[in-house]
Structure 1
Amino acid sequence: MSFWKSLFGGGAASTEPAGDKVLGEEGYKGFLIKAVEMKAGSELQLAGTIEKEVGGELKTYRFVRADRMTSRDDLTAIALSKGRQIIDEQGEAIFR
């Protein structure tokens, strides 16, 4: 069963992917968006987290996209932009 959970993102959300470092972060509409370095061979894969305290509990949503690039600056800008887009589209519903 753990194979299916890891494949489809089931299970408890972690605050940050293990071993990955935060490249940049910004606050947006009460959420905290973090651009996370996720290596994919010699490239970087677009990934990040969105955090917000809801009902006294810190909730975290992790997103990973298929986009890959070599520039950390590009990755940071695009990941933060993608985080803003997710928040605008779904708001707190991402934590359900």
Structure 2
Amino acid sequence: MGLFSRLFGGAKEQPQTTVEPIEYKGFLIFQEALSEGGQYRIAGRITKQVGEEVKTHRFIRSDVLPSESDANEFMLKKAQMFIDQMGDNIFT
């Protein structure tokens, strides 16, 4: 099926990029803006090692911004504020 979808304009796979996390108060914040119609949706992940388990909270906002770097910067600020307000309760 891959050959036909490439020939007839099927969905293109997005290249996988490695995101360097930013450490904040024991949490790791991954800035992962989503490209949507020429703009970028604010998105990412907040993770924390809890014992043997890595807990993850997916973070997607309705806001869109014109540049990927702006969306990632805004996500970082929102994630830090979320961590300050919720702490470990993010994962409950």
**Could you say whether these structures have the same fold, taking a TM-score greater than 0.5 normalized by the shorter chain as the test?**
yes
Aligned residue in 2 for 1:69: 65
Which has the larger Rg?
A: 2
Q: Aligned letter for 1:62?
A: R
* Preserved CA contact (<8 Å) 1:35 1:48: yes
Higher relative contact order (Cα pairs below 8 Å, separated by 6+ residues): 1
Give the drift of 1:58: 0.5
Match of 2:23 among 17, 22, 27: 27
- What are structure 2's unaligned runs of at least 5 residues? 1-13
- What are structure 1's unaligned runs of at least 5 residues? 1-17
TM-score by length of 2: 0.75
- Name the % identity: 37
Give the drift of 1:37: 2.4
User: How many residues get paired?
Assistant: 79
TM-score by length of 1: 0.72
Q: Kindly report the root-mean-square deviation, in angstroms, between the aligned alpha carbons of the 2 structures.
A: 2.0
Q: Take 2:16 and 2:83, find their aligned partners in 1: how far apart are those partners?
A: 22
